[in-house]
Structure 1
C-alpha cells in the first residue's frame, strides 16, 4: 500500500537544501549540456540531432527534409528544450565557416561569416553528411549502450560509435558551472596519422604527436603564428592559446600605388564586425597609416586596405592592423571533456586520442560480437535446412499429417527449436533443387566469416591492425581534397617590427597632465605651467610628464600596479580630459603616485610607505592592458609611496620620525616583481621623502638653497636598512 505524501512537510536546513539543489543543477549543466564527450566529441543536443536525423532516414543519398521537422522530432522525442536553441545547434553543424567538417548538409539560408543569421526553420532543409554517417555507422549493431528517453517512450544512444575523430576535428566550446571547455578544430587526416603512431608506439610523447598534428586547422584558414614549444606545452597540459593572423597579399596598382587584400580572417571573427572595428579605429585616429578599407567580398573573402601614402611599408601597415584589430586573434585551448566514465577533466592531446582509440576498439569488439552472434544464428538455421533437404518427402508428410509437426520434425531430424521453426516458415519455392546449392554456398561463406571473426576477437594485435586499416580508410576518404586539405598555414612567430619610425610623421612634443581628481589629458608642447590650465570645479593640478606623441606613458598606482598608456591615444584639446579610471582597471581606493614616459634603458626606484623598496626597469614593467601589471607587492594597510628615477650613486631616505639615511644605490637590488628590501628602518613611522643623486656632485635639497657637498653629507651615510641619523635643519625646513 502506497504512502500518501500530500501535505507532508519535512524540516531541513536552508543551506543544505540550496547546496543539494545547486549541485544537482551544476551536474546537469556539466553532464547534459555544456561539455562534450571525449569519445564522439558531441554534446547531448548534437548527438540527439544526428540520431533523430538518422531515424528520419536523412542519409547523404536521400532527399532533404524541412529543419522544422527535424527540430520537432528532437524536442518531441529526445531533447526537452526550446526549439530555438536546438535549431541554432543544427545550423552551426551545417556552417562550413563554423565547423571544420560539417555534420549536416543544409539547403537554404544557413547564415554567413558576416554574422547574418539563418532563415527560419520552416524555410530551410537538411540531411546528414558522409562524416555524420560515419559517426553513426554501426549504431544498430549493438556498438554502444542506449538509455530511455526523458519520457521513457523510446531509447537514445549514450554515445555514438564515433569512428571519426570528431572531438579534435571539429573542436568544441561551452561554459558549464564552474568549468568551461574550448577546443579548436584540427585536421582529421593529421589526427588519424597521430592515432596510428600511438597504436604502433603507445609510449610516444606529445612532441612526437606534434610532428603529425602541428597545430589547429581552422575552417576559415588563416596563419598560425605560434612557436612549436608553446604548442607542445599547450597540448601537454590541455591549456593554452593559439595566435592566428589573417592571410594577406599586396596588389600593385597604377603609378606605383598598391593595396593590401585580405583573403582569410581568423576563426570566429565576424567580417562585418571586423570592418566596423577598423572604421571606428580610423575615426579615432588609431590607425594613422591606413587610408581606407573596402569590402569587395562575394562568396570568397576580399577585404581591401588602402594605405595613406604609397611610400608606406606594407609590413609596417599590417603590423599596426594586427596590433589594433581582430585581424590577429587568440583562440584559447582548454581540453575539458567528459571521459568514458562521464567524469569531467582536462586532458592532454595524447590522452584525448588514446580515449578515442579505446572507444573505437570497444566499438569494434561489440560490433564483431554482434555480427558473430548473427552468423551463428544463421548457420544454425542453414544446418537445419540442409538436414531436411536430404529427405524432403518425409518433411512434407510430417507437415501434412502430424498434429504437432514442429515436435515431430525436431525428433525425426534432431533439430533445435529455431531450426524447426525456420523449416516450418520455409516457402514452397525454396524447395527447388537449386536452392540447396545456394544454401551450401551461403553456409560456406558464413563459416569463413565466423572463423575470421573468432580470429579477430581472439587477438588484440589483429584488432589494432584492423583499426589501423580503418584509419587509413578515413585518411583516404576525408584527409585530402577540398574538404581534407589543411587550410591553416603553420608559420614561424613573426619577428618584432618597429613601427615607431613609421608613426613619426605625427611625432610632436606633448605634456601629460593628471589632475588630483584623476582626469588625464595631453597638451601640445613642453614647458607648460599646469596652473595656467582650467580644471573642473574642486579639482587641481596633480602629476605632469613631458614626452613625445609616440611615447608610452607609465602610471604607478598606490597598490603597486603599473599601467601603460599610449600618449597618442590620450584625449587632446582644451577640455578637462578623461577620467583615468575609464582607461584602466584601478581599484577605487587607490591613487596614482607617479607618471613618466617609458624609456628602453630607464630604471626606477620604487618604495612603500614603510621604507621598503627595489629598483625596476621601465621596459620590464610595461603592460599595455587594462588590468596593468603587478610590480610591487604591498602589505596590508600600506601603499606605494614614491617611484623616482634610479639615477646617480646614492639614495637619501627621510622618515616622519625625523631620521635621515644616505646609502649607496648599488645596495638596492633590481627585481621584476616583489616586496623589495628595507631601505630605512622606520619602526612605526613612515617615509617622508626619497631622493636619488650623485654623491660627488652634491645634493640640492630645495630650490634656492646651496648645493650640499659630499663632506656635509658624510655624517648621514650608512648601510641600507639602518635607522639613520637625526635630520639636520636644512632637510626639515619647509620650502618657502
Structure 2
C-alpha cells in the first residue's frame, strides 16, 4: 500500500488574520492612494498621469492628444485602476476653478464651476502645462529614484523632482483609513519667498513664515476673514480652519436704488447649488430682506442680489446671507502628508517647506553627480579623440590594415575601451583640422565645469545658493507678474451684523384690528374710535376690536390652550370683510378662538381653564414661530381654555359658575411656559367662569348701571380673601349677572 501525502490546512486566529489583512489594506490606502507626498505634493495617480503625458511627449508647446489615450496609457502602464477614476483625476488637474496652478491644459469641456461634469474622455484633449513640466524637470538626469511598475515591465518615478512646492501651491485632499488630509492652495510667489527666507534662516519660526505666506490663495478668489492669530495657530499645528467669504460690491442704480453683485464665490462651492440655496431662502422667507437673486454670469461670476427694501444696509443683507448660505464657508486645514513617501504625519507649515527644500537639495546633488558622470565620460572620449588627431595617419592605417583594429589601438596608444570604441565610431567629416581645436575648447570648458560641480557637491552653502537661484527662476516664471501669479484671495476683518427680521423692515404705523365672531380679520389704517359701529358680513358680529401698530405681532389662543402668532403687517386691509384667520394659521376646525391681543414683550398673563386650573405665563413664551402654533395650557376634556388676562396687580379674584368668588395673592400662582397649572378654586358643580387680577389696596371695581362703578374696598374684601384652591363665598352684592369681570 503506497503512502499518500494528505493535504493539510493551516489555521490561524480570525482576529489576527483579519487584523493583518486590514492593516495591509490600510497601509496601501494611506501610502498609494489618499495621502500626497510632501516632496512633490502629488498622489500616485496624479504622478502617473503626468509621467505618462511626458512619455507621450505632450509638452506645453506641443499638440494635444485625446484624454482617452492618456488615461488608457496610465491605466495600462502604471495605474491598474478604473479608467473613470483616472480621467476624473486628469480632468481635475485641468480645472482652473479647482487647481490654483493647473497641471493639465485641457481642450474641450472639462466641467465648470456650476458643478457640471466634464465631457467623456473620447471628446476632450489634453497636454501638460508649464507648471507640470517644472515638476518633471530633471527626470532624465537621475534626479529621483525609479521603481518597477505594477507588472514589472516598465519603470516609473517614485517621486517627481518638483521645481516648486506643489503640495502647498495646489493643495490636496483625501480620505485614507483612520486619517485624512485637506490642504488649501497657496500663492507660488509667496511660497518661494518663504522658502528663500527658510534657506537664509533655517530655524525660522512659523510666525515669521506667515509674514511671507499670510494665508491660502484660492483659485476662485474670495475674502479670508480669519484672524491672524488663528491662521498662525493653524499653520503652527497643521490643523485648523479658515473662514472664506464671497467677494461682493454694491452697484448704484440711481434714485436711491442699489443691488449687490457677487463677483467671486468661495472655493469648491458649486454656483448652481449656491443659487438654489439663495432662492430657497427667499421662498421660505428665512431672509425677508432679500427680494430676488439672478445669475448673470458669463465667463466671470456675476450673481445679482436684490434687496426687498432700499433702506436696509448692504452690510446687513450680506451678513445675514453669510450666516445662512455658502456665501461663507469654513475650509478646514489638516496637513497630513507622507514624509519621504513613507511616514504619514501632520506637519506644520515650516515642516512642509523643510521637506520640500530637503528634497530639492537631494535632487540638486543627484543631478550634479549625474552631470559629473557625464562630463567624466565625455572627457575620456575627448582625450581619445585628441590622441587620434595627433596620430591620425597611424590610426587610419591600423583601421585599414588590421582585422581587429580595436586591440591594436588600445595597445599602441594606451587607450581605454571607451576611447577606442569612440574613435572607431567617428565620422569621416570629423577629421577636419578645425575639429581638433573645437575638441580642445570643449575639453577645457568641461574641465572648468567639472571643477565648479565638484565644488558645489563639497559645499552646502553653494548648494543652497544654487537652490535659491532655481527658486527665483521659478518665481520669475510663475510669480506675481505672470497670468496666474497675482494673489486672488483677499483679507478682511469679519464684521458681524445683527440678524434682521421682516418686522425690522416694516414702517411703524397705527392700525385698528377688527376680528368678527366667525373669525374674519382685517386691519384699518389709523387708530379709529372704538365706540363707532363697524360693518360685518351678514349674520356675523364683532368679537375683538383694538388698537395696534403694523410692527406688532398678534397672539391668538384657542379653546384647546394652543397659541398662534401672526404679524400685524400681514393683515388684509380694512375695506371689505377681511380674510378668515384659519388661512393665516393652522388652527383645527374643531377649535374656537378665545383670545386675540397684540404682543407686549415682558408682559405677564394669567391663563386658566374652565376646570379651575391656571398659572402665570410670560407673553414672550406664548409667541409661536410656526403656523401650527404651540401648546401653552394643557387642558383635559371636558375642560377648555377659559381666559388669558394681563396681570395688573397683586391679587387674583376668581369666580365660578356657582357665583362663588375667591381672592388670593398672585404670588401663589407659579410662572410657567407651559403646563396644566395648579388649582385656583374648587367646585362641587360647574367650573370656572372668570378671573382677573387687581391691586388689593385699590379695591375691586366693576360697572354698576347707568355708567356708575361699584368698588369693593380692601376692608370689605376681607371675607372673600382665602387660601388658593378653596371654594370661596357668594359674590358681593351687585356683581354682574354674567359672572364676568370688566375687561
Shift of 1:494: 1.9
Question: 2:262 aligns to what?
Answer: 262
Poorly superposed stretches of 4+, deviation over 3 Å: 4-8, 499-503, 505-513, 520-526, 533-537, 546-549, 565-570, 573-577, 701-705, 733-736
The answer on whether the counterparts of 2:138 and 2:367 sit within 8 Å (CA) in structure 1 is: yes
The answer on whether the counterparts of 2:245 and 2:322 sit within 8 Å (CA) in structure 1 is: yes
Residues 475/704 of structure 1: CA separation in 2 closer, same or farther (3 Å cut): farther
Q: Deviations over 1:432-471 (max 9, x none)?
A: 2121111112111111111111111111100000111111
Question: 2:485 aligns to what?
Answer: 484
Residues 247/534 of structure 1: CA separation in 2 closer, same or farther (3 Å cut): closer
Question: 2:199 aligns to what?
Answer: 199
Shift of 1:410: 1.1
For the pair 1:573 / 2:623, whether they are aligned, the reply is no
Question: 1:110 aligns to what?
Answer: 110
Q: How does 1:489-500 map to 2 (within 5 A)?
A: 489-491=490-492, 493-500=493-500
Determine helix, strand or coil for the equivalent of 2:316: helix
Question: 1:415 aligns to what?
Answer: 415
Q: Deviations over 1:682-702 (max 9, x none)?
A: xxxxxxxx999xxxxxxxx99
The alignment's TM-score, normalised by the length of structure 2, stands at 0.70
Q: Highest CA radius of gyration, 1 or 2?
A: 2
The answer on whether the counterparts of 1:521 and 1:570 sit within 8 Å (CA) in structure 2 is: no
The answer on whether the counterparts of 1:523 and 1:573 sit within 8 Å (CA) in structure 2 is: no
| Partner Cα separation in structure 1 for residue 185 and residue 167 of structure 2 | 8
Question: 2:52 aligns to what?
Answer: 52
| Partner Cα separation in structure 2 for residue 305 and residue 503 of structure 1 | 20
Shift of 1:202: 1.0
Determine helix, strand or coil for the equivalent of 2:300: coil
Shift of 1:735: 10
Shift of 1:422: 0.8
| Partner Cα separation in structure 1 for residue 393 and residue 71 of structure 2 | 58
| Partner Cα separation in structure 1 for residue 726 and residue 13 of structure 2 | 67
Shift of 1:482: 2.3
Q: How does 1:685-700 map to 2 (within 5 A)?
A: none
The answer on whether the counterparts of 2:287 and 2:320 sit within 8 Å (CA) in structure 1 is: yes
| Partner Cα separation in structure 1 for residue 51 and residue 567 of structure 2 | 70
Determine helix, strand or coil for the equivalent of 1:450: helix
The answer on whether the counterparts of 1:365 and 1:457 sit within 8 Å (CA) in structure 2 is: yes
Question: 1:143 aligns to what?
Answer: 143
Residues 394/88 of structure 1: CA separation in 2 closer, same or farther (3 Å cut): same
Determine helix, strand or coil for the equivalent of 2:241: strand
Shift of 1:496: 2.4
| Partner Cα separation in structure 2 for residue 522 and residue 179 of structure 1 | 50
| Partner Cα separation in structure 1 for residue 395 and residue 295 of structure 2 | 83
Q: Deviations over 1:170-192 (max 9, x none)?
A: 00011111100000000001000
The alignment's TM-score, normalised by the length of structure 1, stands at 0.71
Question: 1:304 aligns to what?
Answer: 304
The answer on whether the counterparts of 1:198 and 1:204 sit within 8 Å (CA) in structure 2 is: yes
Residues 10/534 of structure 1: CA separation in 2 closer, same or farther (3 Å cut): farther
Shift of 1:317: 0.8
Question: 1:219 aligns to what?
Answer: 219
Q: How does 1:701-720 map to 2 (within 5 A)?
A: none
Q: Deviations over 1:173-218 (max 9, x none)?
A: 1111110000000000100000000100011111111100000000
Aligned-pair RMSD on alpha carbons? Answer: 3.5
| Partner Cα separation in structure 2 for residue 322 and residue 21 of structure 1 | 47
Determine helix, strand or coil for the equivalent of 1:212: coil
Question: 1:315 aligns to what?
Answer: 315
The answer on whether the counterparts of 2:217 and 2:488 sit within 8 Å (CA) in structure 1 is: yes
Question: 1:622 aligns to what?
Answer: none
Q: Deviations over 1:402-441 (max 9, x none)?
A: 2432111111111111111111111122112121111112
Q: Deviations over 1:252-295 (max 9, x none)?
A: 11322111111000000000000000111111110110010000
| Partner Cα separation in structure 2 for residue 510 and residue 181 of structure 1 | 53
Q: Deviations over 1:355-402 (max 9, x none)?
A: 000000000000000011000100000001101211111111112222
Q: Deviations over 1:605-652 (max 9, x none)?
A: xxxxxxxxxxxxxxxxxxxxxxxxxxxxxxxxxxxxxxxxxxxxxxxx
Determine helix, strand or coil for the equivalent of 1:74: helix
Question: 1:89 aligns to what?
Answer: 89
For the pair 1:210 / 2:223, whether they are aligned, the reply is no
The answer on whether the counterparts of 1:509 and 1:548 sit within 8 Å (CA) in structure 2 is: no
Determine helix, strand or coil for the equivalent of 1:249: strand
Shift of 1:18: 1.0
Q: Which runs of 5+ in 2 are unaligned?
A: 507-550, 569-585, 591-598, 603-619, 633-669, 673-677, 683-723, 728-743
Shift of 1:140: 1.3
Determine helix, strand or coil for the equivalent of 2:281: helix
Residues 302/455 of structure 1: CA separation in 2 closer, same or farther (3 Å cut): same
Determine helix, strand or coil for the equivalent of 2:16: helix
The answer on whether the counterparts of 1:521 and 1:572 sit within 8 Å (CA) in structure 2 is: no
| Partner Cα separation in structure 2 for residue 280 and residue 219 of structure 1 | 27
Q: Which runs of 5+ in 1 are unaligned?
A: 514-519, 527-532, 538-545, 550-564, 578-689, 693-700, 706-732
Determine helix, strand or coil for the equivalent of 1:126: strand
* Higher deviation after alignment, 402-411 or 208-217: 402-411
- Tell me the matched-pair count: 557
The answer on whether the counterparts of 2:565 and 2:623 sit within 8 Å (CA) in structure 1 is: no
Shift of 1:37: 0.3
| Partner Cα separation in structure 1 for residue 459 and residue 11 of structure 2 | 59
Question: 1:167 aligns to what?
Answer: 167
The answer on whether the counterparts of 2:679 and 2:725 sit within 8 Å (CA) in structure 1 is: no
The answer on whether the counterparts of 1:245 and 1:328 sit within 8 Å (CA) in structure 2 is: yes
The answer on whether the counterparts of 2:38 and 2:352 sit within 8 Å (CA) in structure 1 is: yes
Shift of 1:571: 2.5
Determine helix, strand or coil for the equivalent of 1:293: strand
| Partner Cα separation in structure 2 for residue 142 and residue 511 of structure 1 | 81
Residues 200/536 of structure 1: CA separation in 2 closer, same or farther (3 Å cut): farther
Determine helix, strand or coil for the equivalent of 1:286: coil
For the pair 1:76 / 2:50, whether they are aligned, the reply is no
| Partner Cα separation in structure 1 for residue 26 and residue 589 of structure 2 | 50
The answer on whether the counterparts of 2:224 and 2:244 sit within 8 Å (CA) in structure 1 is: yes
The answer on whether the counterparts of 1:511 and 1:547 sit within 8 Å (CA) in structure 2 is: no
The answer on whether the counterparts of 2:290 and 2:308 sit within 8 Å (CA) in structure 1 is: yes
Residues 355/255 of structure 1: CA separation in 2 closer, same or farther (3 Å cut): same
Question: 1:676 aligns to what?
Answer: none
| Partner Cα separation in structure 2 for residue 280 and residue 476 of structure 1 | 47
Determine helix, strand or coil for the equivalent of 2:255: helix
Q: How does 1:217-256 map to 2 (within 5 A)?
A: 217-256=217-256
The answer on whether the counterparts of 1:171 and 1:183 sit within 8 Å (CA) in structure 2 is: yes
